[in-house]
Amino acid sequence: MKPMAGMTISEKILAAASGKDYVRPGEIVDARVDMAMVNEITGPLAIQTFKRIGLKNVWDNQRIVLVLDHQVPADSVKSAELHKIMREFAKEQNIPFLYDVGDGGICHQIMVERGHVRPGELIVGADSHTCTYGALGAFATGIGSTEMAAVFATGKLWLKVPSTIRINVTGRFSDFVTPKDLILDVIGRVRADGAIYKAVEFTGPTISEMDISGRLTLCNMTVEMGAKTGIIEPDEKVIQYVRERTNRPFKIFRSDEDANYERTLEFNVDNLEPMVACPHSVDNVKPVKEVEGVEINQAFLGSCTNGRLEDLELAARILKGRRVRKGVRMLVTPASSEVYLKALEMGILEVFVRAGACICNPTCGACFGGHMGLLAAGEICISSSNRNFVGRMGSPEAQIYLASPATVAASAVEGKITDPRRFLGGA
Amino acid sequence: MKVSGRAIIFGDNVNTDVIIPSKYLTSLDPNELAKHAMEGIDPSFPSRAKSGVIIVAGRNFGCGSSREQAPIALKYSGVKCVVAESFARIFYRNAINIGLPVLESPGIRGLVNEGDTLTVILDEGKIINESKNIIVKANRLPNFILEIIMDGGLIEHLIKTMRGERYEV
């Protein structure tokens, strides 16, 4: 079939992965997967299921990444058993990419940081936030454990080619206003189901200016509006970032001028304020100033959304020389051992410790509500993570507000939700 | 393929954290997971679902994490089928892959009350509300997805397909 219009980057990657010249939204393709990732929550079920299929070997042991991150170090015998299943599978299948306790971190950070994500690739992960990797120009999406078992067996997956919503961003962020505030603003407008089954492509001068860390934050949270993936055309910054981490060749795809977008939404960040997602849904978004003064019990800085070096650095600008308010506990969870080490070398961790914050090991930790940093009934947490669902971080009677690292740090100092811009000029 | 049961109604954006809270994900036992199905939203759900029920929900059912334990918990608690205005995509795929029928039917929420007796005819994309004596149309699943559900899930389907030779589509 002759193409009638150009293709988006997502369509081009899916066409290439399924050996076609042209695909259109709605078409179902059988695609070849470049990399597959599981963690210890979804992996053991995938491994168990793979064994039921009865094949001796996985399709390609160089294309599978296993990460222990959700509950590390093991907090219970049950967790320890899941970790053991992962380690034994890596050994059995001779999979070199097992990221274990002490040499790893949150799976999504590991995937980009250790060079497992390259532009133009099709990547699946048994974790919903796999969509993060679109920041590097890959088509990356979350799948379940059974499907992952089938990928382990065949290296293939059926996918429906999504239509694309374009988010075009212009303007300059004010100080202490971040990509997290932008993506919360976007989700507030698009709503929790506004992008179901669709790709969300970010374009515009603000995105070109943005660092890799900020782009990862944007793409990471596209699943909170239902998207199949978030994606950004790779530029020189991306190419350099990837080249520093892998020798594996890759191909750059870009959206055609006449590509078909289902719709384009324009955002300008010149006047964007710090935003917060209020309990109990990610699309319940308001400017921070509307909820300023809400007293908090816990402040959480971490997660695959905002646990990178840039996030810790930003929070440290506010916490330097200050103390976390008495009666509030602040948890800091660097997203990986690499982030941890750099933050240590730069003196950022010292700022946190002096401020009275608790530094935790790299893990999904409090965001996942599995093994640490849990909330009691009636408690309120401000968090740099991605979900504020009922019971997400502990008691179903706790409340979670999602915000940027700057807002989390400012709120920790004041003991109540606070606009970080109050700390401008080092007041 | 036909399934029947009484309807249990839920709203919009039911997420996987309430379908099966994180703290139970260390278990690989489907029956253990089933004991906590919907605990975050309705702790009485497992006892209500036991007799075999059909969930009727609003938009974006199953949003949030990729945990396959969510459809597994529902299936083993007695849910025969989930009919919703729309689904979150990972939950939708997971349900099909473990053999829990799911059907999209825009408008369904207004046509079913709690406790109504429903019969879902999957291969026709049709829902019969026996209590109200009406037939509701749903989006019919493509044949290859119906095949997966009828085989009992993706793995059973894959094993069937692979028999004798390696899976190639």
A146 touches chain B (CB under 8 A): yes
Judge whether B141 and B124 are in contact, CB under 8 Å: no
Q: What integer pLDDT is reported at residue A5 of this predicted model?
A: 82
> Which chain A residue lies closest to B161 (C-alpha atoms)?
A53
Round to whole Å and give the CA distance between A260 and A53: 40
Q: What integer pLDDT is reported at residue A427 of this predicted model?
A: 46
ipTM for the whole complex = 0.92
Identical fold between A9-266 and A277-418: yes
> Which chain B residue lies closest to A197 (C-alpha atoms)?
B89
CB pairs under 8 A between A and B: 128
Helix axes A348-355, A309-319, angle to 10 degrees: 50
Q: What's the gap in Å between the CA of B67 and the closest CA on chain A? A: 6
Beta carbons within 8 Å of A412's beta carbon, 6+ residues apart: A296, A299, A319, A324, A325, A328, A330, A355, A357, A382
Judge whether A186 and A214 are in contact, CB under 8 Å: no
**Are the Cβ atoms of A41 and B167 closer than 8 angstroms?**
no
Selecting from A82, A142, A387 the residue whose C-beta is nearest the C-beta of B26 gives A82
Structure tokens at B101: 């029928």
The kind and range of the H/E element at B53 are strand B53-57
Query: Which residue ranges make up each domain of chain A?
Result: 9-266, 277-418
**Are the Cβ atoms of B169 and A156 closer than 8 angstroms?**
yes
CATH number for the domain formed by residue range(s) B2-140: 3.20.19.10
Q: What integer pLDDT is reported at residue B76 of this predicted model?
A: 97
A163 touches chain B (CB under 8 A): no
A213 touches chain B (CB under 8 A): no
B70 touches chain A (CB under 8 A): no
**Are the Cβ atoms of B158 and A150 closer than 8 angstroms?**
yes
Selecting from A54, A76, A125 the residue whose C-beta is nearest the C-beta of B26 gives A76
pTM of the predicted protein model: 0.95
Selecting from A70, A146, A150 the residue whose C-beta is nearest the C-beta of B98 gives A146
B96 touches chain A (CB under 8 A): no
Q: Which residues pair with A285 in a beta bridge?
A: A277
Structure tokens at A405: 């690292």
User: Would you give per-residue pLDDT tens digits along chain A (427 residues)?
Assistant: 555 689 999 999 999 999 999 999 999 999 999 999 999 999 999 999 999 999 999 999 999 999 999 999 999 999 999 999 999 999 999 999 999 999 999 999 999 999 999 999 999 999 999 999 999 999 999 999 999 999 999 999 999 999 999 999 999 999 999 999 999 999 999 999 999 999 999 999 999 999 999 999 999 999 999 999 999 999 999 999 999 999 999 999 999 999 999 999 999 999 999 999 999 999 999 999 999 999 999 999 999 999 999 999 999 999 999 999 999 999 999 999 999 999 999 999 999 999 999 999 999 999 999 889 999 999 999 999 999 999 999 999 999 999 999 999 999 999 999 999 999 975 4
Q: What integer pLDDT is reported at residue A2 of this predicted model?
A: 53
Round to whole Å and give the CA distance between A339 and A312: 9
Tens digit of each residue's pLDDT (9 = 90 or more) over B79-134: 999 999 999 999 999 999 999 999 999 999 999 999 999 999 999 999 999 999 99
Top residue of A20, A191, A372, A389 to mutate, by most chain B CBs within 10 Å, is A389
Round to whole Å and give the CA distance between A156 and A133: 19
- Given a cut of 70, whether residue B169 has pLDDT beyond it is no
Tens digit of each residue's pLDDT (9 = 90 or more) over B131-166: 999 999 999 999 989 999 999 999 999 888 877 543
What superfamily in CATH does domain A9-266 come from? Aconitase, domain 3 (3.30.499.10)
> Which chain B residue lies closest to A51 (C-alpha atoms)?
B155
- Given a cut of 60, whether residue B168 has pLDDT beyond it is no
CATH number for the domain formed by residue range(s) A277-418: 3.30.499.10
**Are the Cβ atoms of A143 and B93 closer than 8 angstroms?**
yes
B61 touches chain A (CB under 8 A): no
